[in-house]
Amino acid sequence: MSLLSSRKEQKRFIKFGIVGATGTIVDYSIFNLFAYIVGFEEVVAQGISFTFAVISNFVLNRHWTFRDSRSKRLRIQLAQYVLVNVIGLVIRTPIFIGFTYIFDGLLAGRSLPFGADPVWLAHNLALAGAIGVVLLWNYRRWTFNDAK
């Protein structure tokens, strides 16, 4: 179904974007908690934060964005969502690593406003790029394709 095919689908995409923004807040919060407070490697932290964001997004999408998607049992829908998102994580991780190298190279040794740490900024920019790519992959993939 095309995004522009109906007003209902346009509203649904806006809801999907709001849920995604919420998931992004969860993703960034958990990423920074695990990477910079707990001390995990950034690649591991982004995998953990991705998992928390996936759970949050599934609940919100099922109960708000795609609430008319009920022809599948919860277990089936959750399994499909997890599978789609595992593929999304496989897509996201090398993108995150690639963007990390790019932004680390661009920001290394620079003095940033407000005393921001160049490594922290590089990794958060890398996460933003990776999230953007996976957003396009995830919309209405298989899990919620029965929504009317």
Give this prediction's pTM.
Answer: 0.78
Each residue of 45-73: pLDDT tens digit? 999 999 999 899 999 988 998 888 777 88
pLDDT of 3:
54
Each residue of 1-27: pLDDT tens digit? 455 578 888 888 889 889 989 999 999
pLDDT of 139:
60
Each residue of 119-135: pLDDT tens digit? 999 999 999 999 888 87
Q: What is the DSSP string of the chain?
A: --TTS-HHHHHHHHHHHHHHHHHHHHHHHHHHIIIIII---HHHHHHHHHHHHHHHHHHHIIIIITTT--SS-HHHHHHHHHHHHHHHHHHHHHHHHHHHHHHHHHHTT---GGG--HHHHHHHHHHHHHHHHHHHHHTT-STTTT--
pLDDT(143) > 60: no
State what percent of residues in the chain have pLDDT above 90.
48
